[in-house]
Chain A
């Protein structure tokens, strides 16, 4: 049965019929319809049901306050759950009814494109009704850049004037944040394959048509000098017996279905109102109006009956007598609630307006934020009625999306709850996607009534972004897949790919993990790379190391304060390893300092710690030691670094060509020389993280690839192998060199690492020094760095395994430590590990146990240096 009138409907274009499918049946509507209006036009008036009690429900509203008519849209875009009242009808739309709960099985792979865009305006207006459009005209008139967003597919009135006015429809302001930052979710749904953008040049609207695929969404990051909330008001329902039946509709919604869509929501209507707007709307709703029950006359609708749609309405007169009339539409207007979700979420308060029986903005929000129109409280007076006393409270629905009744609210109050925020959490009222748009004030006033408080004693629960649900996919926008997060690569990266490297993520960096040759397993590749370093030569791309130039006459003094050891007595041309601690005395980062000149150092940091260390330096320089004449400049990417490690290193450098004297006496360990390598300017540094003879070649990152290729070619006759982070980890662990962040976790002092030698308390104050005198940092049972050799030499302890001292199996067992690093060593021909063990420095030679699901692993505690403890290879 068609309920579409012969004429009328200002939003629809009858020349453009559209076919759509709902719950498997085909229907027709018009361009300009919402799915809800098209369904009503086709006589589909119930067909929905409630999520918890499965009660039959119908369309109750015409906007985002809809608590009943939820659908999943499957074509031509995918929206797993949304109110039918907010879905613009398009050709070929396919939708299913949903009981307020989405079904992920409906999820189609890959929806439309989601873009992000940043926009700055002087004035942002949320809401395209009369007040919003008026505010837009005023702002445009004073020369502002204006953005107006309207969640419906069109604005209510025209906006004109001003040179820079953008109107977004089908766009929702999800949240208003500090300093005028607003996130807007724009959808491309109404116009098939295109979107009309109206830009005003002077008073002339210029229409642009942008071809866009259906389902395209855009997240607008808007920075606005002023934000005007012209978000209108929601008509408030009333709670009475049977108020959730299909056929119960807000009076203003019924009026809009007639006037905008030419749809008659019912034939015979009864109206139940508390205010003049509702009364007028009921009169314009098109149906035969049997009775207007005005609460201000002492009358009330006490129940609606039907099966399930409303068929009769029982009215209680002022004198207590009752009548029942036949009607298939019951129009409700229980007053109006300003739509203030965005206002409240940014901290705006509410005050109760007695005459209008609603909560209006208290004016205490941020200075850049204002509220206009109905949202500000420009509303008709209303009788303060929330629910009808007569009848069973358990049949008076308060939150239709949560199937909660007046009884549920009363029970929460009887259980001792007073605050609506507590009642919300006890009943879940207001936790559905509408955030209590129809139920919030009702609930607050039922609580106030139950407690014997005056109306308005407490208002509705707070709201928070997003204003309407938005998918994570939309918020992620273009940052998906390979574009999820920036990826950093070194100048040598392409070579690593050519050599078949597997990569490891280190912060945002991609670092070669190992370089498997044909058919090699990870273990085999790492073992081969390690042996190449120990027996011949290996090359590693160390470009990711953080690098900071520290310059100024006070640079030596500054570094003495930042590192635990002394840097000021370093000679130009020399290098020193250093540890940095936080104020708590815990190891924070490590690296080497190279003294480039009297007043100039280059310090290196861990790959992941570069930004943190620079921030740390700047914080102390800018906030505490402003008298120090020191500047820090990050040069991480100025330099590409190739680390050559292994006994053949000198031969390979010589073969590649260098003018630097590499002899032991001329160029000792922990010094650097400037010169050329393979014909390009280079700084050669004798620094070893493997324990082997090692040189690092620092060259301009422009030359990184060239020098890498030259060294690899020169090294080929010597069996040079590129090696990755895994081999690097094994090699350094064989030498007992810690990795900050792997062997340490922010609770480890240099003393815990057995590195007492690197703490120089006699040099003056430094960051962390004070904390070393705390009793806690001197406890003998602190976890301390040790080596572990599993008794079965091929058993690999898992990193993170807990250590116990007695293998009794008794639970609970006291945990005495944990494994921090564990590897197979080709050089040792067995497995080994590093661990943090309570009192470990005094436990060398003891056996500890790691209880594992496959059985306990026993291991002997050793010093943490397994290979060449004297350092003859490194210093050779």
Chain B
């Protein structure tokens, strides 16, 4: 269902992405999850509570986005959004929470080059040095003034970006990659 008739924001730009060792990971099922930390209900154990950490849980990536906000996704793309939504609803039934399908709200650029931090540092104010940025971390930040989520995952950096910004951000990164080459 998902793939049929669907277009990803960076469809047709694989060659451009390849110029800085990146590719799009489209159509990931993503659910925005909110649970009040001050609530009476104990927090489910699969939620990372530490700032800017993501955890793998049952084949899902659970990204800390804020004190009461997480992004739950299937990083492999195997799950449909509706399945993931239903799964979380079942898991959290009886607690005060919010789950909202945001699968199409962001697409993902995956950067795999060794020099990716150099490229990202031309437009991102975060400290991406191994002293403070490691596998298992994530962060909401700005990349070239565009709001993004960064996720460091299995030797790659994933950049979650709103579809509307994706093409402009790619153009910006191409320009930056040319300059730092």
Contact = CB atoms under 8 A, between A and B. Distances in A.
A701 B145 CA distance: 22
A221 interface: yes
B165 A488 contact: yes
A874 interface: no
Contacts, number: 124
A704 B171 CA distance: 22
B103 A700 contact: yes
Contacts of B144: 478, 483, 486
Given A486-B165, A488-B165, A703 B6 contact: yes
Contacts of A704: 7
Most buried by A among B144, B168, B172: B168
B5 A679 contact: yes
A707 B68 CA distance: 35
B169 interface: yes
A118 interface: yes
Contacts of B131: 145
B129 A120 contact: yes
Contacts of A701: 104-105, 163
Given A478-B175, A483-B172, A119 B36 contact: no
B103 A637 contact: no
B6 A486 contact: no
A629 interface: yes
Contact of A113 (B104, B124, B162, B179): B179
B5 A703 contact: yes
Interface stretch (B16-24, B45-53, B55-63, B94-102): B94-102
A326 interface: no
A631 B165 contact: no
Contacts of A706: 5-7
Interface string A159-197: 000000000000000000000000000000000000000
Interface residues of A, number: 47
Interface in B40-94: 68
Interface string B143-156: 01110000000000
Interface in B122-181: 122-127, 129, 131-132, 144-146, 162-165, 167-169, 171-172, 175-176, 179-180
B168 A488 contact: yes
Contacts of A482: 171
Contact of A702 (B96, B104, B167, B176): B104
Contacts of A629: 36, 96
A211 to B, nearest CB: 10
B121 A118 contact: yes
Contact of B169 (A486, A680, A703): A486
A637 B98 contact: no
Contacts of B34: 551, 631, 633
A478 B179 contact: yes
Nearest to B162: A637
A485 interface: yes
A629 B2 CA distance: 32
A637 B7 contact: no
A671 interface: no
Interface in A784-812: none
A705 B37 CA distance: 39
Contacts of B165: 486, 488
| 5 closest residue pairs by CB, A with B | A488-B164, A120-B127, A631-B98, A551-B98, A702-B6
Interface of A: 113, 115-120, 145, 221, 223, 478-479, 482-483, 485-491, 509, 549, 551-553, 629, 631, 633-639, 678-681, 700-707
6 contacts: A117-B121, A145-B129, A478-B123, A488-B168, A637-B164, A678-B5
Given A145-B131, A633-B102, 18 more contacts: A113-B179, A117-B121, A117-B122, A145-B129, A223-B125, A223-B127, A478-B175, A478-B179, A483-B168, A483-B171, A485-B145, A486-B168, A488-B165, A491-B7, A551-B98, A639-B104, A678-B5, A701-B163
